[in-house]
Structure 1
């Protein structure tokens, strides 16, 4: 498994990635993520997840962004998006992508990684808990906020 940058050779395939239909309300499509990556520039870190030469997913980190307000001094880094293709789920690609995001944040001097998710039945809460994320008690835009220490 490896992460690759998005470029003219692979962006169209990235746009075709889709999660299972029952997960569509949990994560934005890749096209929205790429638009946000453009708007946020250096604060967004979008990557594609490959297994050999097969595209299996998309992941995007946010790096040192103001948390709730553009003028906020509370700046955080973490997992912004995770889209693993419906047919590829359950094979470790999501865990690999999350660990890669955490490694990138750590390499940039970060000590914590954040994630937000919809806390509903069939949602990703158990997945993130298994990877060491713990709810902070915060809710942002209706999503649970969780944090993982990177030390």
Structure 2
């Protein structure tokens, strides 16, 4: 093996490590985003295809999350929705626990609130149940709901 091939291999491995490190670093944000998405999508009793599409589009276009595959995003979202459907109380506890991990990161917390409002509005309505969940999520994240005209 030539030195050039060896160097090329090292660069490839370094790139793979960086990608893996970024995934690990943002795993909590992905889980928080999917937990918030599931909570807000389930607020009105069902998850519309508009809400799902809005959530996937947000993830695909956000730099910190674009490193995740769409299948990773859908799986995480599906897991939170399934937990909420199976046992609402336990599902909510797990979702709010995932959201709570972002409380110390104000920038991420505000981004999450903007995202869940966009998802809730994807079907053209932002009803009282969705607003109530959005307020609860904002408070869980340590963000004043009034910043987003929720209070």
TM-score computed with the length of structure 1 as normaliser: 0.31
Of Structure 1 and Structure 2, the greater helix share is in 2
Q: Greater strand percent: which structure?
A: 1
TM (norm. structure 2) is: 0.31
Task: Give the structure with higher Rg (CA).
Answer: 2
